[in-house]
Amino acid sequence: MTKKAILVLEDGSVYEGYSFSAPISAYGEVVFNTSMTGYQEMLTDPSYAGQVVVSTYPMIGNYGINSEDFESNRIQVAGFVVREECHIPSHWQSISNLHDYLLSNGIPGIAGVDTRAITRRLRSVGVMMGMITLEESPGEALERLSRLPRYDSMDFVNQVSTETIYRWDAPTGEDALYHIVVVDCGLKLSILRILSRMGCALTVVPCTTSAEDILNLKPDGILLSPGPGDPALPYLEETVRGLLGRKPIMGICLGHQLLGRVFGGKTYKLKFGHRGANHPVRDLDSGRVHITAQNHGYAVDADSLKGGLEVSHINLNDGTVEGLRHRELPLFSIQYHSEASPGPKDTVNSFERFLEMVRG
């Protein structure tokens, strides 16, 4: 009835379970997320491109799949690892279940595995490449894995970014207050939903759009979106450099890391990243602590910052940089996800802060 499947990590550890949804193999960087709800948003978050996501919460799919909570137009994860997939969900909005939804996107899942054991492994060794496979032996899988490109060497931003420019208008019947250009590095739709609800007209541009082309769109402000992978992307850094001081800028997640980099900051890879909905962040100005949603594997090195950029927020757990601002220029950035989805909405006022900056 059920097909056996294994998850093999590049350090040789093997976790047995069974295959659900697409009965195919998949590989990627294996990461864990500690959110207890929000799997639909996670699956469709482009920042997970190239990654096999392990959900630490054991029962996934309980409330099915609905037509509202997509963060992009398709599943972005390479594979999904759960302790238990719920086959008969129960929710007023549910239109599908986890199995069928993954299957419709051709994404494999593995269930029945000891996800806590995997998490402990990733926590102590660090994130690593891994593969979900059905027929191969662990040795065969490892051998094939060694020949596949590594996550860190890939530009996933370019893969997930929109190919064409598109507009996202303010709610009908309202005049747009501001025009915001969103540079799509792996955008979550919630960002557009929030800004639009706040009265903004939005233009979403591909990540390869030049600074000049962006400015030609006559934006009141520019948002650098989150996105997957290593932020060391010269073409994007060049674009951002060209935007500095021209218009107010807000960077989120990868956008935040890009801002750090163009100010000479270094970025580095975290051992196992921050992925969850419970990360405490301290606002260094007010001293206040907020609970944030996070999804990132890289961070900005605080000591390397130059050129008037300073740290505004830190992570209470490990002291890493969570927010930046500039002493003179109208720009700031956050490493966490104020758009939540999934996660707490405690910092949704970051967008107000951005619009205030746009207002001038």
Contact residues for other proteins (CB under 8 A)?
A: 15-16, 32, 34-38, 40-41, 56-59, 62-63, 66, 68-69, 83-84, 86, 88-93, 114-117, 119-120, 123-124, 272, 276-280, 282, 287-289, 291, 316-317, 340-346
Q: Regarding beta strands 267-283 and 289-300, do their DSSP bridges make them parallel or antiparallel, or are they unpaired?
A: antiparallel
**At its nearest, how many Å lie between other proteins and the CB of residue 63?**
5
Residue 78 to residue 73: CA distance in whole angstroms = 15
Catalytic residue among 29, 41, 85, 339: 339
Task: Considering the complex, state which of residue 84 and residue 213 has its C-beta at the smaller distance from other proteins.
Answer: 84
Q: Regarding beta strands 79-81 and 108-111, do their DSSP bridges make them parallel or antiparallel, or are they unpaired?
A: parallel
Residues 20 and 110 sit within 8 Å (Cβ to Cβ) = yes
Task: Considering the complex, state which of residue 234 and residue 287 has its C-beta at the smaller distance from other proteins.
Answer: 287
Catalytic residue status for 337: yes
Residues 259 and 249 sit within 8 Å (Cβ to Cβ) = yes
Task: Considering the complex, state which of residue 155 and residue 346 has its C-beta at the smaller distance from other proteins.
Answer: 346
**At its nearest, how many Å lie between other proteins and the CB of residue 182?**
22
Catalytic residue status for 200: no
Total number of residues shown for the chain: 360
**At its nearest, how many Å lie between other proteins and the CB of residue 157?**
25
Catalytic residue among 29, 41, 253, 296: 253
* Residue from 40, 313, 49 nearest 187 by CA: 49
102-119 in b/e burial notation, b at 16+ Cβ within 10 A? bbeeebbbbbbbebeebb
Task: Considering the complex, state which of residue 117 and residue 148 has its C-beta at the smaller distance from other proteins.
Answer: 117
**At its nearest, how many Å lie between other proteins and the CB of residue 289?**
4
**At its nearest, how many Å lie between other proteins and the CB of residue 62?**
5
Residues 271 and 299 sit within 8 Å (Cβ to Cβ) = no
Tokens of 81: 């690892």
Beta bridge partners of 108: 21
Helix (H, G, I), strand (E, B) or coil at 106: coil
**At its nearest, how many Å lie between other proteins and the CB of residue 8?**
14
**At its nearest, how many Å lie between other proteins and the CB of residue 291?**
5
Task: Considering the complex, state which of residue 85 and residue 220 has its C-beta at the smaller distance from other proteins.
Answer: 85
Residues 108 and 19 sit within 8 Å (Cβ to Cβ) = yes
For the beta carbon of residue 166, count every other beta carbon within 10 angstroms: 13
Task: Considering the complex, state which of residue 36 and residue 211 has its C-beta at the smaller distance from other proteins.
Answer: 36
210-236 in b/e burial notation, b at 16+ Cβ within 10 A? ebeebeeeebbbbbbbbbbbbbebeeb
Q: Which helix (H) or strand (E) holds 195?
A: helix 189-197
Catalytic residue among 256, 296, 313, 337: 337
Q: How distant, in Å, are the alpha carbons of 10, 17, 73, 99, 146 from that of 24?
A: 19, 14, 22, 13, 19
Residue 257 to residue 255: CA distance in whole angstroms = 5
Task: Considering the complex, state which of residue 20 and residue 178 has its C-beta at the smaller distance from other proteins.
Answer: 20
Catalytic residue status for 68: no
Amino acid code (one letter) for 307: G
Which residues are identified as catalytic? 253, 337, 339
